Structure 1
Amino acid sequence: MESKKPMDRLLIGDVGYGKTEVAMRAAFKAVMSDEQVAYLVPTTVLARQHFYAFKKRFESFGVTVELLSRFVTVREQTDILKRLEKGLVDIVIGTHRLLSKDIKFHDLGLLIIDEEQRFGVEHKERIKEMKVNIDCLSLSATPIPRTLQMALMGIKDLSMIETPPVNRYPIQTYVVERHDAIIKEAIERELSRAGQVFYLYNKVSDIELVVKKLMILVPDAKITYAHGQMSKDKIEDVLTDFIDRKYDVLVSTTIIETGIDIPNTNTLIIHDADTLGLSQLYQIRGRVGRSDKIAYAYLMYQRHKVMTEDAMKRLKTIQDFTELGSGFKIAMRDLSIRGAGDILGGEQSGFIDTVGIDMYLRLLEETIDEKRGIKKKEVKDEKELPLSNRHISKDFIDSDEVRVAIHKRIAQLNTLMDIENLKMELEDRFGKLDEDLVIYMYEKVFKKL
């Protein structure tokens, strides 16, 4: 923030490692320099938590902190917006409401984006349009592939918090088929040590049925539930009662992903873990293990279900990385699974190698020239590529019948995505493809374009 150029820094740190403390100090520095701060968070629960924390921390310094979210009345919002434009509000904390077009700052100096991976590219770029030369601090335990790639390339600055809080233990993580016996044992074991349980079920439509089933399964447990379609007051009442230990088990949707800090909850059960993203799984797992007790996380999937390859990779990754401070490693694994996406566009994940690095760089150069107004003369190359060497080697596929079938498949290719799908299938069945075979596939597609 002392630099002459605007800050654009990604801060990576695990749950509970102190990212919010860094954000508070950055916000305080900006306010002391007579600039306003916008703190963007993904959920209303987290917004309220930060609002109360900031207000308590800065009340003795005369710093004005306000909250903007869908749960603030229209009348209150109108008053806050007027004072924000006049410079009478120092720090505004809010959800996507901060991205609305009616938000006008007197002198915005710092933008803080909490849980960066929860926002889309358009969201993050829209608020920066309000003022070009603002400092930007992004916080995340597991940044999305695009943001991580930008940091690794030097487009963004990168900082990491690697020191864990004292007396913190790794979370014991198990990936298992869903069985009532395992669920019953996990809940009863946690209750036997006077702890509480999170049970994540991400379908609002039949969440009450799951609650009833758990009540039958563990009759001694006091069970409640919460989801995003409930009213603000109802959600707060449920969470408050759970924090006060009036209930043993909280069945909830992914609203617990951010902003819930209940140290007494040290067992987590995820109903359909294969349907969640890697950073989601990591964030949700971080809801437990926030005390000096050993925590347990059960990532469950439906029995006999055939999972996608990516789903299996995600579950294996979350099981492999259980040690403290794994957020960065998981983000790197997510980058390798999903790809870095579009650095200059809106895709936050995806692979460059679907077109090849040379083709990608050429297309990138052409796009930049086009934006600059430079027109290049199109040169058509009418030469036919030699096809004599384009065949499927007998060493690669021994069976004549299978080779003929693959030739037919190649003849039916129409798009680059078709090529990628066939390449992955062949590599899975027969091993690494030779260059001739890959070129053969591209020739077939290019002839049809």
Structure 2
Amino acid sequence: MNRLVCGDVGFGKTEVALRACAAAALCGKQVAIIAPTTVLARQHYETFSRRFAGTGLQVAHLSRMVGAADARAAKEGLRSGQVAVVVGTQALASRSVTFANLGLLVIDEEHRFGVKLKRALRTMAPRLHTLSMSATPIPRTLQSALSGIQDVSVLNSPPAKRRPVRTILAAFDPASVRAALLREFHRGGQSFFVVPRIEDIAPACDQLDRLVPELGVKTAHGEMKGRQLDEVMVGFADGDGDILLSTDIIESGLDVPRANTIIVWRPDRFGLAQLHQLRGRVGRGAVQAVAFLLTQPGVELADSTRARLSTMLALDRLGSGLAISQRDLDLRGAGDLFGEDQAGHMKLIGVGLYEHLLERAVSAAGGGAGSDQQLAEINGSGKGAFPESYVEEPTVRVGLYARLSRMRSEPDLDTFREELEDRFGDMPGEVALLLEFTRLRIAASELGVGKVDVGPEAIAITLRNKPSASQWRNSKALGLEYRNGRLIFRPIQPSVSGIDAVRLALDALRAAQPKHEI
């Protein structure tokens, strides 16, 4: 198994991992669960220990928060096979860690790990089953899933009574920040205040002391000792403090049910996945949560940055993580599937040709025919477009055109249509026309058509395999006439033109096919 599970915060990814680990461990295989932070690893260790209690299977923990004696005992247990399940950070990839019979690897928050590390993890045992989990997979991972290299499952059902987090993008305003923090305090909740760098902690702490002196502020960042950081995080989750001032170290694994306000200072310094994960720290219950993305006053954002932040505003519904990842893929490119670049566009051969070659290779590797069939060319008919008013970013528009040009089946086109409406809203007429035009190109290709030329009075159809005149001798009743190696179709109703005329021509060709091989 090499499967990616996509699901937003609280949608049940950990439960899926628990069931998979139980299936492997109860069959005598060892299981390794790797998490990006010590806090998340500790949380998973407690969850897995509780769920595996009474099974006779030993669960161990490996991270910098584990003492030397306990770490040695865990490593010895893994080497001897006594430990069935181990939960840890990237310490699991250490050379000092060996397994007796490793069968399943679970990578939580896979977008937080580098390509090199993930590749090393997958080679820890031969024929290792791998389960990757993320709300917002990196472009490279998402592309490998969409291309068929990696299987993908999506968790769409939100938890009961969960409400979308209201997202606000604005310049930093002291009065508004004070009002937001006090509002959360007065309704019995807690707040997060997130800054991009550790050196931003001290200035932000001073500002919070001036703005809300009546509230208790706790701080957390990556340079704190593991035990101290753990105490702060767990204490805040238990209600110790009104505001947690931190870096993005809180983006994974911290579950604070009472926290329903988050303020992100300088969101332009965070990636889309980071912002979505940070937003997922609040709104874990039935209370309406709010996420404030506060930019530096008086500083104009670059177009690419504003496009990234606008994505967070547009995709604020429950279960939007996968759509955000798809937008991230459009904006940043898919990277190098066979190297270590996690983003970037294929500039040398072009993304369209790259995708086409990749799909052929994946099909051939899976035992398929590796078809090189191209869509039929249709000339002289309205084609439609993605207008700027519908898709603002030029890079995204180009990516959508490229994906549309690679459509090979009507079910794929229907899925693409649903994605467009999900991401950009109701389609204008130009977009609907573009999709219908592509649908006709697909239908024409399936009928063996290479090109369709639409004229004012007739339509000329060129087949990929040149037919003989005898094949079409009796097709005049359908409006088809063979002439100079092509089929000429004349609509019975002269008023029919454009796409409607092409549709009628293909219907006539389809009706003629059972009697005449093309």
Q: TM-score, normalised by structure 2?
A: 0.67
1:39 matched residue in structure 2:
33
Which ranges in structure 1 are unaligned for 5 or more consecutive residues?
A: 1-6, 365-423, 428-449
1:327 alignment counterpart: 321
Q: Which residue does the alignment assign to 1:395?
A: none
Aligned equivalent of 1:146:
140
1:115 aligned residue: 109
Q: Structure 2 stretches of 5 or more lacking a match?
A: 359-393, 398-518
Tell whether 2:93 aligns with 1:99: yes
Q: Computing the radius of gyration over CA atoms, which structure comes out larger, 1 or 2?
A: 2
Query: 1:261 is matched with which residue?
Result: 255
- Return the structure number with greater relative CO, CA threshold 8 A, min gap 6: 1
Deviation at 1:339, TM superposition (A): 0.6
Find 1:349's aligned residue among 343, 346, 362: 343
| Alignment of 1:217 onto 2:216 | no
Moved over 3 A (4+): 357-364
Q: How far apart in 2 are the matches of 1:74 and 1:13?
A: 35
1:162 pairs with one of 139, 149, 156 = 156
Cα deviation for residue 362 of structure 1 reads 12
C-alpha distance after superposition, 1:103-134 (max 9, x if no partner): 11101100000001011111111021122201
Show the 5 A alignment for 1:328-407.
328-353=322-347, 355-357=349-351
Q: SS at the partner of 2:6?
A: strand
Per the TM alignment, residue 361 of structure 1 is displaced from its structure 2 partner at its CA by 8.4
Aligned counterpart for 1:229 among listed residues 223, 244, 254: 223
Q: 1:264 to 1:354 in 2, by over 3 A?
A: farther
| In structure 2, C-alpha distance between the alignment counterparts of 1:222 and 1:232, rounded to whole Å | 22
Choose from 84, 88, 112 the match for 1:90: 84
Distance 1:269 1:288 in 2: 11
CA spacing shift, 1:224–1:29, aligned 2, 3 Å: same
Question: Contact 1:177/1:302 (CA < 8 Å) preserved in 2?
Answer: yes
- Inter-CA distance 104–205: structure 2 relative to 1 (3 Å threshold): same
Q: Distance in 1 between matches of 2:124 and 2:102?
A: 8
Of 50, 53, 57, 1:56 maps to: 50
Q: Aligned partners of 2:45, 2:356: CA distance in 1, in Å?
A: 48
CA contact (8 A) 1:116 1:140 kept: yes
Alpha-carbon distance in structure 1 between the residues aligned to 2:293 and 2:83: 44
Letter in 1 for 2:55: F
Paired amino acid for 1:272: R
Which of 240, 254, 258 in structure 1 is aligned with 2:234? 240
> Cα 1:358–1:247, aligned 2, differ >3 Å: closer, same or farther?
closer
CA, structure 1 residues 180+60, in 2 after alignment: closer, same or farther (shift >3 Å)?
same
**CA separation of 1:24/1:212 partners in 2, compared to 1, >3 Å: closer, same or farther?**
same
Matched, 1:302 2:296: yes
Once residues 295 and 362 of structure 1 are traced to their aligned partners in structure 2, the CA distance between those partners, rounded to angstroms, is 43
In the alignment, which residue of structure 1 is the partner of 2:165? 171
CA shift digits 1:225-254 (9 cap, x unpaired): 111111122222222332232311110111
Cα offset, 1:325, TM superposition: 0.6
Q: Distance in 2 between matches of 1:241 and 1:77?
A: 25
Whether contact under 8 Å (1:211, 1:224) holds in the other structure is: no
Structure 2 equivalent of residue 136 of structure 1: 130
Go from structure 1 to structure 2 and tell me whether the alpha carbon gap of 1:109 and 1:362 turns closer, same or farther (over 3 Å shift): closer
How far apart, CA to CA, are the structure 1 residues paired with 2:206 and 2:183? 20
- Aligned position for 2:73: 79
Identity %: 43
Is residue 270 from structure 1 mapped to residue 264 from structure 2 by the alignment?
Answer: yes
Question: After the TM superposition, which of the residue ranges 255-264 and 301-310 deviates more from structure 2?
Answer: 301-310
| Deviation of the 1:358 alpha carbon | 7.7
1:189 aligns with 2:183: yes
1:202 maps to which of 192, 196, 200: 196
d(CA) in 1 for partners of 2:40 and 2:324?
23
* Distance change >3 Å, CA 189–CA 345, structure 1 → 2: same
Give the drift of 1:75: 2.7
- Provide the rounded CA distance (Å) in 2 between the counterparts of 1:310 and 1:70: 38
| 2:24 counterpart of 1:30 | yes
TM-score if structure 1 supplies the norm length?
Answer: 0.78
Partners of 2:65 and 2:227 within 8 A in 1: no
**Deviations for 1:387-430, whole angstroms, at most 9, x for unmatched residues?**
xxxxxxxxxxxxxxxxxxxxxxxxxxxxxxxxxxxxx99x9xxx
